[in-house]
Chain A
Amino acid sequence: MDAMKQRWVSLFVENDIGVLAKISGLFSSKLYNLDSLTVGVTEDPTISRMTIGLTSDDKTFEQITKQLNRCVEVIKVIDFTNIPTHSRELLFVKVNRITEADKMELFRITSVYPLKIVDYNKNTAILQAVEDRDTNDELVKLLSSFFINRIEVVRGGSVAIESFF
Chain B
Amino acid sequence: MEISGADLFLKALREEGVDTLFAYPGATAIDLFNVLYDADDIRLVLPRHEQALVHAADGYARSTGKVGVCLVTSGPGATNMVTGIATANFDSVPLVCFAGQVPLSLIGNDAFQEIDIVGITRNICKFAITVRDRKDLGRIIKEAFYIASSGKPGPVVIDVPKDIQVAMGSADYPETVNIRGYKPNEKVHRGQLKKAVEALNSAERPVFLLGGGVNIAHARREMTQLAELVNVPVVTTMMGKGAIPTNHPLYIGNLGIHGNYASNHAIADADLIFSIGCRFNDRITGKLSKFAVNTTIVHIDIDPASISRNIVVDIPIVGDAKNAINQMLEICQSRERTEWVERIQKWKEDYPIHMLKYSGVTPEKIMMSINRQFDDVILTTDVGQNQLWASQYCELDIHRQLITSGGLGTMGYGFPAAIGAQIGHLDRQVVSINGDGGFQMNMQELATAALLGLPITICVLNNGYLGNVRQWQQMFYGNRYSMTCLMRNENCPLQCSGPNEACPTQYVPDFLGVAKSYGVQALRVTEEAEIDDAIRMGKENRTGPTLIEFVIDREANVLPMVPPGEALDDMILE
A contact residues vs B (CB 8 Å cutoff): 13-14, 17-18, 21-22, 25-26, 29, 59, 62-63, 66-67, 69-75
Q: List the 5 closest pairs (A to B, CB-CB), nearest first.
A: A66-B305, A75-B181, A72-B182, A72-B127, A29-B123
User: Is A74's CB under 8 angstroms from B305's CB?
Assistant: no
Report the minimal beta-carbon distance from A14 to chain B, rounded to whole angstroms. 6
User: Is B123's CB under 8 angstroms from A70's CB?
Assistant: no
In the complex, chain A residues whose CB is within 8 Å of the CB of B304: 66, 69-70
Bound complex: CA of A66 vs CA of B303, how far in Å?
A: 9
17 further contact pairs, Cβ within 8 A, besides A21-B119, A63-B305, A72-B127? A13-B181, A14-B181, A18-B119, A18-B122, A18-B130, A21-B122, A22-B122, A29-B123, A59-B308, A66-B304, A66-B305, A67-B305, A70-B304, A70-B305, A71-B181, A75-B180, A75-B181
- In the complex where A14-B181, A63-B309, A66-B305 touch, is A72 in contact with B123 (Cβ < 8 A)? no
User: Is B181's CB under 8 angstroms from A62's CB?
Assistant: no
> Which secondary structure dominates where chain B touches chain A?
mixed
- Supply 22 A–B pairs (Cβ within 8 Å), ascending by A: A13-B181, A17-B132, A18-B118, A18-B122, A18-B129, A21-B119, A21-B122, A25-B122, A25-B123, A26-B123, A29-B123, A59-B308, A66-B304, A66-B305, A67-B305, A70-B304, A70-B305, A72-B147, A73-B181, A74-B181, A75-B180, A75-B181
Is B126 at the interface (CB under 8 A from chain A)? yes
- Interface membership of chain B positions 102-130, coded 1 if the CB is closer than 8 angstroms to chain A and 0 otherwise: 00000000000000001100110011111
Bound complex: CA of A21 vs CA of B123, how far in Å?
A: 10
In the complex, chain B residues whose CB is within 8 Å of the CB of A63: 305, 309
Bound complex: CA of A66 vs CA of B80, how far in Å?
A: 30
Is B179 at the interface (CB under 8 A from chain A)? yes
Report the minimal beta-carbon distance from B179 to chain A, rounded to whole angstroms. 6
Query: How many cross-chain pairs have Cβ atoms below 8 Å apart between A and B?
Result: 40
- Interface membership of chain B positions 160-183, coded 1 if the CB is closer than 8 angstroms to chain A and 0 otherwise: 000000000000000000011110
In the complex, chain A residues whose CB is within 8 Å of the CB of B118: 18
Bound complex: CA of A64 vs CA of B436, how far in Å?
A: 41
Report the minimal beta-carbon distance from B467 to chain A, rounded to whole angstroms. 31
Bound complex: CA of A72 vs CA of B147, how far in Å?
A: 8
Report the minimal beta-carbon distance from B376 to chain A, rounded to whole angstroms. 37
Interface residues of B in 172-226 (CB under 8 A from A): 179-182
Bound complex: CA of A55 vs CA of B562, how far in Å?
A: 35
Bound complex: CA of A25 vs CA of B129, how far in Å?
A: 15
Bound complex: CA of A29 vs CA of B305, how far in Å?
A: 15
Report the minimal beta-carbon distance from B89 to chain A, rounded to whole angstroms. 12
Report the minimal beta-carbon distance from A44 to chain B, rounded to whole angstroms. 11
Report the minimal beta-carbon distance from A72 to chain B, rounded to whole angstroms. 5
Q: Which residue on chain A has the smallest CB distance to residue B156?
A: A72
In the complex, chain A residues whose CB is within 8 Å of the CB of B126: 72
Bound complex: CA of A69 vs CA of B182, how far in Å?
A: 9
In the complex, chain B residues whose CB is within 8 Å of the CB of A17: 130, 132
- In the complex where A18-B122, A21-B122 touch, is A62 in contact with B180 (Cβ < 8 A)? no
Report the minimal beta-carbon distance from A22 to chain B, rounded to whole angstroms. 6
Bound complex: CA of A22 vs CA of B123, how far in Å?
A: 7
Report the minimal beta-carbon distance from A26 to chain B, rounded to whole angstroms. 7
Choose one: A21, A62, A73; the contact of B308 (CB below 8 Å).
Answer: A62
In the complex, chain B residues whose CB is within 8 Å of the CB of A72: 126-127, 147, 179, 181-182
Q: Which residue on chain B has the smallest CB distance to residue A73?
A: B181
Q: Pick the most buried of A62, A70, A71: most chain B CB atoms within 10 A of its CB.
A: A70
Q: Pick the most buried of B122, B132, B181: most chain A CB atoms within 10 A of its CB.
A: B181
Report the minimal beta-carbon distance from B308 to chain A, rounded to whole angstroms. 7
Report the minimal beta-carbon distance from A109 to chain B, rounded to whole angstroms. 45
- Interface membership of chain B positions 295-337, coded 1 if the CB is closer than 8 angstroms to chain A and 0 otherwise: 0000000011100110000000000000000000000000000
Bound complex: CA of A67 vs CA of B123, how far in Å?
A: 12
Bound complex: CA of A126 vs CA of B126, how far in Å?
A: 46
Bound complex: CA of A71 vs CA of B182, how far in Å?
A: 8
Bound complex: CA of A29 vs CA of B118, how far in Å?
A: 16
Bound complex: CA of A147 vs CA of B181, how far in Å?
A: 48
In the complex, chain B residues whose CB is within 8 Å of the CB of A73: 181
Bound complex: CA of A21 vs CA of B118, how far in Å?
A: 10
Q: Which residue on chain B has the smallest CB distance to residue A46?
A: B180
In the complex, chain A residues whose CB is within 8 Å of the CB of B127: 72
In the complex, chain B residues whose CB is within 8 Å of the CB of A25: 122-123
In the complex, chain A residues whose CB is within 8 Å of the CB of B119: 18, 21
Q: Which residue on chain B has the smallest CB distance to residue A62?
A: B308
Q: Pick the most buried of B118, B122, B128, B179: most chain A CB atoms within 10 A of its CB.
A: B122
Bound complex: CA of A23 vs CA of B459, how far in Å?
A: 44
Q: Which residue on chain B has the smallest CB distance to residue A66?
A: B305
Bound complex: CA of A14 vs CA of B132, how far in Å?
A: 15
Report the minimal beta-carbon distance from A18 to chain B, rounded to whole angstroms. 6
Report the minimal beta-carbon distance from A34 to chain B, rounded to whole angstroms. 15
Bound complex: CA of A71 vs CA of B119, how far in Å?
A: 15
Q: Which residue on chain A has the smallest CB distance to residue B127?
A: A72
In the complex, chain B residues whose CB is within 8 Å of the CB of A22: 122
In the complex, chain A residues whose CB is within 8 Å of the CB of B303: 70
Bound complex: CA of A25 vs CA of B119, how far in Å?
A: 10
Bound complex: CA of A73 vs CA of B305, how far in Å?
A: 16
Bound complex: CA of A71 vs CA of B308, how far in Å?
A: 19
Report the minimal beta-carbon distance from B186 to chain A, rounded to whole angstroms. 15
Bound complex: CA of A98 vs CA of B308, how far in Å?
A: 57
In the complex, chain B residues whose CB is within 8 Å of the CB of A13: 181
Q: Which residue on chain B has the smallest CB distance to residue A18?
A: B118
Bound complex: CA of A63 vs CA of B179, how far in Å?
A: 23
Report the minimal beta-carbon distance from A46 to chain B, rounded to whole angstroms. 9
In the complex, chain A residues whose CB is within 8 Å of the CB of B130: 17-18
In the complex, chain B residues whose CB is within 8 Å of the CB of A70: 303-305
Q: Which residue on chain A has the smallest CB distance to residue B126?
A: A72
Q: Pick the most buried of B179, B303, B304: most chain A CB atoms within 10 A of its CB.
A: B304
Q: Which residue on chain A has the smallest CB distance to residue B303?
A: A70
In the complex, chain B residues whose CB is within 8 Å of the CB of A69: 304-305
Bound complex: CA of A113 vs CA of B182, how far in Å?
A: 46
- Interface membership of chain B positions 90-102, coded 1 if the CB is closer than 8 angstroms to chain A and 0 otherwise: 0000000000000
In the complex, chain B residues whose CB is within 8 Å of the CB of A74: 181
Report the minimal beta-carbon distance from B163 to chain A, rounded to whole angstroms. 17
Bound complex: CA of A75 vs CA of B127, how far in Å?
A: 14
Report the minimal beta-carbon distance from A133 to chain B, rounded to whole angstroms. 28
Report the minimal beta-carbon distance from B148 to chain A, rounded to whole angstroms. 11
Q: Which residue on chain A has the smallest CB distance to residue B306?
A: A66
Q: Which residue on chain A has the smallest CB distance to residue B128?
A: A18
Bound complex: CA of A22 vs CA of B122, how far in Å?
A: 7
Bound complex: CA of A106 vs CA of B144, how far in Å?
A: 58
In the complex, chain A residues whose CB is within 8 Å of the CB of B147: 72
Bound complex: CA of A71 vs CA of B129, how far in Å?
A: 13
Bound complex: CA of A21 vs CA of B129, how far in Å?
A: 12
